[in-house]
Amino acid sequence: MTESTASQDIYLPMPATIEESKLLTAVDRFFRIRLSSGAELGHMPGQFVEVSVAGIGEAPISLSSSPDTTGVFELVVRKIGRVTDALHALPQGSPVGIRGPFGTTFPVAEALKGQDILVITGGIGLVPVRSAIQYMLNRREDYGEMAILYGTRTPADRLFTDEIEDWRARENVTYLETVDRGDEGWTGNVGVITTLLPKVEVSPVSTRVIICGPPIMYKFVIAALAARGIPLEHIYVSLERRMKCGVGKCGHCQINGYYTCLDGPVFNYAQLSDVPEAI
Amino acid sequence: MPIVKYITTDQLLVWVNALIAAQTVYGVQAKEQRFAYDALADAADLRLDFDVTILPPKKFFQPLVETIMKFHVDGHYESVTSEEPFIIFGVHPYDVVAIAQMDEVFRANYADTHYLSRRERATIVACDIQNASPSMFAACMGTATVEDGFDILLTKIGDGYVVDVRTAKGEALLVALGDAPDADAGTLARREQFWDDARRFLNKYLLKCKPTDLPALLEDQYEHAIWEHNAGLCYSCGSCNMVCPTCYCFDVQDEVDWTLEKGTRVRKWDSCMLRDFATVAGGHNFRRRREERYRHRFYRKGQYLWQRMGQIACVGCGRCTTACTAKIANPVELYNTLMEG
Ligand SMILES: Cc1cc2nc3c(=O)[nH]c(=O)nc-3n(C[C@H](O)[C@H](O)[C@H](O)COP(=O)(O)OP(=O)(O)OC[C@H]3O[C@@H](n4cnc5c(N)ncnc54)[C@H](O)[C@@H]3O)c2cc1C
Ligand code: SF4
Ligand code: SF4
Ligand code: FES
C-alpha cells in the first residue's frame, strides 16, 4: 500500500491529549480531550469514540459534550477493567489515541425538532444523553416541552451534579430524579426510575423519548411508555455491546442482524421490536 | 481476447518452479492424511488433486495473528501494512466465492487497508475440484464452479490442464510459462462437460432447499428445539469458526515488548461460539447460553449477512462438519431439520 492509503487506516488512532481529568464519583472520571491536529472531532450527540491507551488497548466511550463545545470534547469513563483503569491513572497532559466519531446519533437535528422531549436515563447512561441535552438546551426554542428523568443507585453515584442544578433551576425544563437507596442527606425521591414516569405528562402524538441506561432499565421503561400510548417509533434507545473495532468488521457488537457500531448505538425502538437480542 | 492455454503436467511443474524462483508461492501440499497451504519449495510438492485444505485461504488475507500497527507508549501509532506480493496456487471454486465475499465485507462502509493490501498483492490461481471432500455440498450452494474472482483457473482435462487467464495479474504469470498452445475446441467442450458434472455431483450432503431460501426458512425458526438440543452437545471450542472461509470475526490486543516502551497492536481470529465473545466489562454476557451462540452462528450464515449484502455466508466446503467433534456443525443437517418444522 502507498503512504496515502496507509494514512487512511481505519484502525489508526489520532493523537490527542488529556487536557483535564477529574473524578465525578468514586469510579467515574471526567476527561476533556483535544486532538493534537487542532481539528474538531465533528461528532453529533449519541456517537462514540474508540479511546486508546498505548500498550493497554482500546475502549468505546460515548461523547458527553455537545458539538457546540469546540476545540475539545468531553468523556466520562467508569473504572471497570483494563483500559478504563489505565485511563483513570493517566495524569493531565497525557497522550491518548482517538478514533471516530462512530455510530448513529440521537436525531436532535431531525426527528426530535419541534417535538416534546422526554429523556429517561439511569446511571452512566447520562453520559451520552448529556450531549443531546446540551445540544437541545442550546437551541431550546426548537423543541416543545422538555423533561429529564434521571435515576442512580445512590446519591453518591450522581454525575454532573452542578449541571443538574442548572437543569433543575430552568423554567422551561422539568427535571426529576430518583435513587434506589437514599442516604442521610438525601431528601429527594427514592425508588426505581419508573416511579418518576407518572409525574410527567406524555402525549402519544408529540412526545419523543430518549432512553439510555443499564440493560435492565429498558424493558420496564418501554413497557410503561407503551401503556401510556407512546408509539414505539417515538422512542430512541442507545445500546451497549462488546466492541473491538467500531467499524462493522470484528463481529462482537452484533444484535441479531444489526451491528451496534454501525446501525447503533442509537436505535429507533421500532427497528428493534422484532429483534430478540436487543433488550 | 481471453487467453486459454492447454499445458501438460510436466509443463505445469516447470512453470510452477519458475514462479517459485521469482517470488513467494503458497500451494496446496499434503500434511499427513490431509492438505494445507504452505510456502512451496518445489513444484513436485504441489497437490492439485487435493479434496479440501484444513484451513481456508483466508489466512493469507487475514492472518491468524496480524500486526496492524506499532506504537510507542508516548502515544505515537504507526500503521503496519503488508508489502509482499505472493501467489496462491490451488484455490477451489467454493473458496474463490468465499474470498469474494470477504472482499466485500472488508471493503464495505469502512475500507480495511490491512486486508485489502494483502488481497491486492495476491495472485489467485484457482483450480477446479478433482476430488470431493468428505462433507462438502458445494453443488447445492452453487459454488462447485466459478465464473470470476480469480486470476487464473486451472482445470484438469485428460493428462494436462486448461489454463484460463482472466486478469493482467494472471497474464503476468504466463511469462514464466513460455510457449503453450491454445486449448482447442474439443478440450474446451470437455471442460464444459466437467463443469456440468461438478455442478450436479459435488455433494456429499444434499440441502433440501435452494440456498436463497435459507433467509426465509430462518424467519420462523428462532425458537426451534434443535438449537437447545444440539447446543447441549457443543463444547464451545470455536473450531467451526476457525476452519470456515466466511468467518472473519476478530479480537484486538496490545502487546508490549521487553522495553515496556514500544509494542504492537495485533488482531487475532476470534469465535462467536466462545463463551465470552459478547461479554462486556462488569460481566454481563449478551449471549450467555450455549444455544444462543450456536443459533447465532447459523443465523449469521443463513440470514444476517444475506440481509446486509445479499450473500449466504456459507459456501458448502464442509470444513466445519469435519472439524466438529460433537458432530453438530453440519449446516445441511441443521437446515434440513429446520425444514422438517
Ligand atoms: C457505544 C458504547 C459507548 C460506551 N460509552 C461509555 C462511556 O461513555 N463511559 C464508560 O465508562 N463506558 C462506556 N462504554 C463501556 C466501555 O466501553 C467499557 O466499559 C470498556 O470497553 C471496558 O474496557 P476495559 O478494558 O476497561 O474492561 P475489560 O473488562 O478489561 O475489557 C476487555 C475488553 O472487552 C471489551 N469490552 C468490555 N466491556 C465492554 C463494553 N461494555 N462495551 C464494549 N466493549 C467492551 C473491550 O473490547 C475491552 O478491550 C461504552 C460502550 C459502548 C459499546
Ligand atoms: S459454514 Fe461450514 S460448510 Fe459453510 S463455508 Fe463455513 S466451514 Fe464451509
Ligand atoms: S459446533 Fe462443534 S466445532 Fe463448533 S463450537 Fe460447538 S463443538 Fe466446537
Ligand atoms: S464493534 Fe466491531 S463490528 Fe461493531
Atom of ligand 1 nearest to the CA of A240: 53
**B289 in any annotated domain:** yes
- Domain membership flag for residue B33: yes
Look up the pTM and report it.
Answer: 0.94
Looking at the structure, do residues B156 and B216 belong to the same domain, yes or no? no
Per-residue confidence in pLDDT tens, chain B, 341 aa: 689 999 999 999 999 999 999 999 999 999 999 999 999 999 999 999 999 999 999 999 999 999 999 999 988 999 998 888 999 999 999 999 999 999 999 999 999 999 999 999 999 999 999 999 999 999 999 999 999 999 999 999 999 999 999 999 999 999 999 889 999 999 999 999 999 999 999 999 999 999 999 999 999 899 999 999 999 999 999 999 999 999 999 999 999 998 889 999 999 999 999 999 999 988 899 999 999 999 999 999 999 999 999 999 999 999 999 999 999 999 999 999 999 97
* B197/B237 same-domain check: no
- For chain B, the domain total comes to 2
Residue B151 lies in a domain: yes
Q: Could B113 and A80 be called an inter-chain contact, meaning their C-beta atoms sit closer than 8 Å?
A: no
B302 and B190 inside one domain: no
Residue B206 lies in a domain: no
Report yes or no: B277 and B287 within 8 Å, Cβ to Cβ. yes
pLDDT of residue B83: 83
Residue B225 sits in which domain range? Answer: 211-255+272-339
**Domain CATH code at residue B160:** 3.40.640
Contact between A5 and B65 under an 8 Å Cβ cutoff? The reply is no
Pocket of ligand 4 (CB under 6 A): A 243-246, 248-253, 259-261
Q: Which residue of A has its CA nearest to B288?
A: A277
Q: Of chain B residues 86-105, which have a CB less than 8 A from chain A? A: 105
Q: What is the pLDDT of residues B259-268, one digit of tens each?
A: 889 999 999 9
| CB distance A223 to A110 below 8 Å | no
State which of A80, A98, A129, A253 you would mutate to test the pocket of ligand 1, scoring each by most atoms of that ligand within 8 A of its C-beta: A80
Same domain, B237 and B156: no
B101 in the same domain as B9: yes
Q: Decide if B74 touches A, using CB distance below 8 A.
A: yes
Sheet holding B3-8, edge to edge: B3-8, B160-165, B152-157, B122-127, B86-91, B24-31, B34-39
Q: How far is the CA of A56 from the centre of ligand 1 (A)?
A: 13
Question: Is residue B77 a part of any domain in this protein?
Answer: no
A116-278 is a CATH 3.40.50.80 domain: yes
Residue identifier of the C-alpha nearest atom 13 of ligand 1: A61
pLDDT at res. A1: 32
Residues B229 and B157 placed together within one structural domain of the fold: no
Is B75 domain-assigned? no
Q: So what's the ipTM on this one?
A: 0.92
Regarding whether B216 and B148 lie in a shared domain, the answer is no
Establish if B72 touches chain A: CB-CB under 8 angstroms. yes
Domain identity same for B195 and B215:
no
Verify that B189 and B101 share a domain, yes or no: yes
Residue B109 covered by a domain: yes
Q: Are residues B223 and B176 in the same domain?
A: no
Query: Domain-by-domain residue ranges, chain A?
Result: 14-102, 116-278
Q: Could you tell me the mean pLDDT of each successive run of 10 residues in chain A, 279 residues long?
A: 55 96 96 96 97 96 96 97 96 96 96 96 95 97 96 94 95 95 90 93 95 90 94 95 96 95 96 88
Look at residue B1 in the predicted model and tell me its pLDDT.
63
Architecture of domain A14-102: Beta Barrel (2.40)
Whether B334 maps to a domain, the answer reads yes
Task: Measure the CA–CA gap between B266 and B106, rounded to whole angstroms.
Answer: 17
Claim to verify: residue B327 and residue B288 sit in the same structural domain: yes
Q: Do domains A14-102 and A116-278 have the same CATH topology?
A: no
Same domain, B103 and B228: no
Q: Which of 120-139 (B) contact A at CB < 8 A? A: 120
